[in-house]
Structure 1
């Protein structure tokens, strides 16, 4: 899957620069641009071009502040949806009003991130979105209920309190993704090398997935010394 092109829509210069830098730091994402007002956003997306002669914007994902100096986020979302532009929207805002949150969700945003937040929270949200997009892009022209459920479940990643102490949802998702992509069973050593982590850490995550029945654990025969296990994704699992 090609890099996800992200447009940051934020009027505060400090926040706009920070969000743009966050995007640059994420593997699998690239910054398409920054718009600091509704007018700049309209120009970037060519919203004034009319129904004819308007090329599709080179944007996959919009990170949208709900309070711009010349437009409200809800109006922008409705306009983008009304024009049928093929992009997803994550609201990034200090707005906590429940009516706005509900309206944004009903208008079709995929995530809602409340300011202030850490880079870790930002990375978590966009990582979940990447998994969602990967699941949807990977489907054929028709899909199944299980595949749809799995795609939407990726937008609701496990949070730290649901995991044993010392395990993070982000790393768990990375290990799960690797197992899904591999066609053959793999060991903790091989996972540690692929994800640049220690063998002990890789084994903890693999054992957790096996205990949750999301991964299959089988002995690897033919190795010397201490018996080694290998792990593969349980294809029937819909938990991760």
Structure 2
């Protein structure tokens, strides 16, 4: 389960961020705060995996908090979400190791891509080894050879999320169910089903209906060995 802290002093913007997260996945634990003081208290009380951080807050600068967290070796990722466009702030945030820098306002699709990037990063770093290609893509934001070009994807699908789903499928025991992917990725069932349907349509996944003596049949999927992901 992903634990997210939203640090945002505008109630409406905070509500939007929370709604976006809940739309992506119902399994996230979401905390909210409006000040640096309240954020520090929450960080002492709870383990946090991901912070959505605004820069200009009621009682200070969000980058001050980020600098403290890095100094104290807190192990969480941070996505800056701000209206600030100054290049110096972007440079400082990158030096402090932010996962991404989102400028308000932005679309849900853009937001979903960044959260998918977080999950993809977490999945990759939990592996015992990473090859050079994956490291290059991870550090430089390049596509791996496994990813299709964005224009090849159907409407509503993104390369980042597709690659995240592919990476997850490659780690699953075969055959697998849609629920196995949602449990591991924390993406919504609806979203995962779209990506699985895309991979099945392209012949990269095969499916089979399992019929039971009692109850409704269910579908399982497995990799098409002739069409590697």
Specify if TM > 0.5: yes
Does structure 1 residue 181 correspond to structure 2 residue 174?
A: no
Q: Give 1:70 deviation, angstroms.
A: 1.2
Q: Matched residues in 2 for 1:99 and 1:118: separation?
A: 24
Q: Give 1:200 deviation, angstroms.
A: 7.3
Contact 2:165–2:195 (8 Å) recurs in 1: no
SS in 1 for 2:166: helix
Does structure 1 residue 196 correspond to structure 2 residue 196?
A: no
What TM-score, normalized to structure 1?
0.66
Aligned position for 2:95:
106
Structure 1 residue runs of 4+, over 6 Å off? Answer: 157-161
Aligned position for 1:77:
66
Note the alpha carbon deviations across 1:113-159, whole angstroms, 9 max, x for none.
Answer: 1110122211111011101111102236xx65445335446x56699
5+ residue gaps, structure 2, are 182-189, 206-222
5+ residue gaps, structure 1, are 47-54, 208-214, 218-229, 236-240
Aligned position for 2:185:
none
2:224 pairs with one of 207, 214, 231: 231
Q: Give 1:30 deviation, angstroms.
A: 1.3
Q: Give 1:102 deviation, angstroms.
A: 0.9
Aligned position for 1:166:
154
Contact 1:4–1:61 (8 Å) recurs in 2: yes
Q: Matched residues in 1 for 2:7 and 2:148: separation?
A: 29
1:120 pairs with one of 106, 109, 112: 109
Greater RCO (CA < 8 Å, at least 6 residues apart): 2
Distance change >3 Å, CA 161–CA 4, structure 1 → 2: same
Q: Matched residues in 2 for 1:199 and 1:69: separation?
A: 44
Q: Give 1:26 deviation, angstroms.
A: 2.2
Distance change >3 Å, CA 203–CA 32, structure 1 → 2: closer
SS in 2 for 1:92: strand
Aligned position for 2:35:
37
Q: Give 1:174 deviation, angstroms.
A: 5.5
Higher Cα Rg, which structure: 1
Aligned position for 1:68:
57
Does structure 1 residue 87 correspond to structure 2 residue 76?
A: yes
Aligned position for 1:133:
122
Does structure 1 residue 97 correspond to structure 2 residue 94?
A: no
Note the alpha carbon deviations across 1:52-91, whole angstroms, 9 max, x for none.
Answer: xxx7x41011100011111112211111111111111110
Aligned position for 1:148:
135
Contact 2:137–2:143 (8 Å) recurs in 1: no
What TM-score, normalized to structure 2?
0.69
Does structure 1 residue 24 correspond to structure 2 residue 22?
A: yes
